[in-house]
Amino acid sequence: MKPIESELEELLDGQHFVSFKTTPSKENYSEWIQLRIDNLRRMVDVSTKLMVFRLSSTLRFNKGELASEREILNCVYTIKKLYSKTYEFESELFEVKPPDGCEHLHNLQKNWSFVVRDCINQIHEFLDKVIETDFKKEKNVNIKFMITVKSPEKIDELIKEMNRLGV
């Protein structure tokens, strides 16, 4: 996921050229922001299903039966595709030229996909800890893990700005 993260940092820092694809009116811009929020929610839902349910069930094994390498690989590939989608989500922000006066509102939406990438990175950190654990030395290892899903950065400020602008 490191190459994607580097690409995202460059994109968010203005180091990638992205052509404008649309210049919505204020009314359409408001609808576009709502659609963006809805899409982020869907990405969070997908990441939750992948991280909490699919990955954990893929890593489980029954007595005498190992976990399926193919299922693990397929799950990891699906997680990578989702991670790649966060770049597309962020890139879309740069494809929209905000209506006059909405530039600050537009900038408040940068890096919202961090909430999805952070969930995936939390899983990586957990798996690294599991891999580093010496189960032969530590007999009674109790592994617990919780994924914390955060709100997008500056969401409260975005709502205030939308209300102020009447968007």
Position 64 scores a pLDDT of 65
Residue in 131, 121, 147, 116 with CA at minimum distance from that of residue 52: 147
pLDDT digits (tens, 9 = 90+) for 48-85: 999 888 988 887 766 667 778 888 899 999 999 999 99
Residue in 48, 72, 52 with CA at minimum distance from that of residue 61: 72
Cα–Cα distance, 23 to 26 (Å, whole number): 9
Cα–Cα distance, 167 to 162 (Å, whole number): 5
Read off the pLDDT of each residue in 151-163 and give the average, rounded to a whole number. Answer: 91
DSSP state of 15: -
Cα–Cα distance, 149 to 154 (Å, whole number): 15
Domain residues of the chain, as ranges?
2-165
pLDDT digits (tens, 9 = 90+) for 119-147: 988 888 888 887 777 777 777 767 777 88
